[in-house]
């Protein structure tokens, strides 16, 4: 026989209340544990660990070669000319991500040549003009092949390839220049003269007045070549950075001439190579003819026949280049030419010193119809950008005579 004991109603009710309390306590404990764990995690990841500040990573495009696979930068909008550049605000956008972002690996090749132009050291135009910068770089170019440059070759017409004197007079030398420029720029015409084994690589053509001996020195032949009746020719191909109509502006002391897309488009200095004559002199008759002033009809005809400085020519004078203003009337605008963005064009630039002494050159570029960003405050002449094939700009000594230029300008990338 078994014994069964039935609990009373009060005992059952007490048991139910106890179970309910235990359930509520367990649930509350679980919730509190979750909240506490979240609070601890928050304090560890957000409060205790200092947030990493977003970093701005800057990359400076090398001077020698602009990116070839990216579209050209947007054009600088030029407003009505003013006496100085308007300060352009620079915006830096920083993106801070809450989660890691996987970025593709980018390999950046170092520049092909030392990036020195921004500091005004390359071209020797920092705190005074001194073209020689050591073993590899001068105002006439670098001795090492560079990414976006024209290749220069140096000739001395006073001697043959074997070093024998040619005994050329100044008139005979000018005749050689004229024949070379007017008959297709064929370097075979210069093969009988001494040619320096060293070539130079230049991206712009800007040399304030300096000794004519700096050119043979730069080409490594100063011990063989006296600083007169030498010729340097720079050749290459350039890609047009934008469509438009342009003209070169500048002057040479003694000679600078440009052939673009197989057409003579610029030729001005103490001598004009296409004419084979000295055109800067005290009586200013050639300059008067170029400006189409009354008289000098025979000279005007020669200019028209040459087809470059067809009267009336445009002259610009700058308050910082009095010597060139007085002797050559300033700098001159050449013949216009039209290009299409992205197309590639051959270009050749000839420079020369004839009697010796001093040498200088300036080659700027003017876009027809484009208002300049600034003008010379005294003469009103437009401040134009340099013609250049890379992003570097020289730093001329502002205390010495020089032609000013706009540091903002398009770059004509050289194409091999």
pLDDT per residue, tens digit, the chain (416 aa), is: 444 455 567 766 776 777 777 778 777 777 877 777 777 777 666 555 555 554 444 444 445 544 444 445 444 444 443 333 344 443 433 333 334 445 444 443 433 333 333 333 333 333 333 343 334 568 899 999 878 999 999 999 999 999 999 999 999 999 999 999 999 999 999 999 999 999 999 999 999 989 999 999 999 999 999 999 999 999 999 999 999 999 999 999 999 999 999 999 999 999 999 999 999 976 899 999 999 999 999 999 999 999 999 999 999 999 999 999 999 999 999 999 999 999 999 999 999 999 999 999 999 999 999 999 999 999 999 999 999 999 989 988 888 899 999 999 999 999 98
Question: Residue 48 domain-assigned?
Answer: no
CA gap 108, 106 in Å, rounded: 6
Q: Given this model, what pLDDT does residue 3 score?
A: 44
Q: How many domains does the chain have?
A: 1
- Domain limits at 137? 122-415
Is 393 inside a domain boundary?
yes
Show Cβ contacts of residue 416 under 8 Å, excluding neighbours closer than 6 positions: 237
For residue 196, being part of any structural domain is answered with yes
pLDDT at 76: 43
What phi and psi values does residue 202 have, to the nearest 5 degrees? Answer: -120, 150
Domain membership of residue 106 (yes or no) is: no
Q: Is residue 207 part of a domain?
A: yes
Q: Is residue 244 part of a domain?
A: yes
Residue 362 domain-assigned? yes
Give the global pTM.
Answer: 0.70
Residue 388 falls within a domain, yes or no?
A: yes
């Amino acid at each position: 026989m078994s014994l069964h004991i039935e609990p009373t109603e009060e005992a059952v009710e007490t048991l139910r209340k106890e179970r309910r309390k235990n359930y509520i306590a367990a649930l509350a404990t679980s919730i509190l544990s979750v909240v506490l764990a979240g609070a601890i995690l928050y304090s560890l990841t957000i409060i205790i660990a200092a947030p990493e500040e977003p970093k701005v990573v800057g990359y400076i495009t090398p001077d020698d070669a602009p990116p070839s696979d990216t579209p050209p930068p947007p054009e600088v909008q030029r407003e009505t000319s003013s006496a100085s550049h308007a300060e352009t605000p620079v915006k830096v956008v920083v993106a801070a991500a809450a989660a890691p972002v996987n970025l593709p690996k980018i390999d950046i090749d170092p520049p092909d040549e030392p990036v020195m132009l921004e500091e005004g050291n390359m071209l020797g135009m920092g705190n005074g003009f001194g073209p020689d910068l050591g073993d590899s770089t001068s105002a006439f170019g670098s001795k090492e092949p560079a990414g976006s440059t024209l290749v220069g070759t140096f000739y001395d017409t006073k001697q043959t390839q074997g070093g024998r004197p040619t005994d050329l007079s100044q008139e005979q030398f000018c005749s050689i220049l004229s024949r070379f420029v007017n008959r297709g720029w064929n370097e075979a015409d210069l093969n009988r003269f001494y040619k320096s084994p060293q070539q130079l690589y230049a991206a712009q053509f800007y040399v304030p007045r300096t000794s004519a001996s700096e050119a043979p020195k730069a080409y490594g032949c100063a011990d063989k070549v006296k600083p007169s009746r030498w010729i340097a020719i720079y050749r290459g191909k350039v890609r047009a950075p934008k469509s438009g109509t342009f003209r070169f502006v500048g002057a040479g002391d003694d000679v600078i001439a440009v052939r673009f897309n197989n057409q003579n488009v610029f030729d001005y200095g103490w001598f004009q190579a296409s004419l084979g004559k000295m055109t800067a002199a005290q009586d200013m008759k050639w300059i008067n003819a170029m400006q189409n002033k009354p008289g000098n009809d025979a000279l005007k005809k020669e200019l028209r026949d040459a087809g470059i400085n067809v009267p009336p020519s445009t002259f610009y004078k700058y308050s910082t280049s009095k010597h060139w203003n007085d002797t050559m009337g300033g700098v001159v605008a050449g013949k216009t030419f039209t290009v299409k963005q992205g197309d590639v064009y051959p270009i050749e630039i000839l420079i020369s010193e004839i009697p010796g002494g001093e040498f200088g050159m300036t080659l700027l570029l003017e876009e027809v119809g484009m208002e300049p960003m600034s003008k010379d405050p005294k003469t009103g002449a437009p401040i134009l950008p340099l013609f250049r094939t890379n992003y570097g700009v020289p730093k001329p000594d502002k205390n010495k005579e020089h032609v000013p230029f706009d540091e903002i300008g398009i770059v004509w990338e050289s194409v091999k």
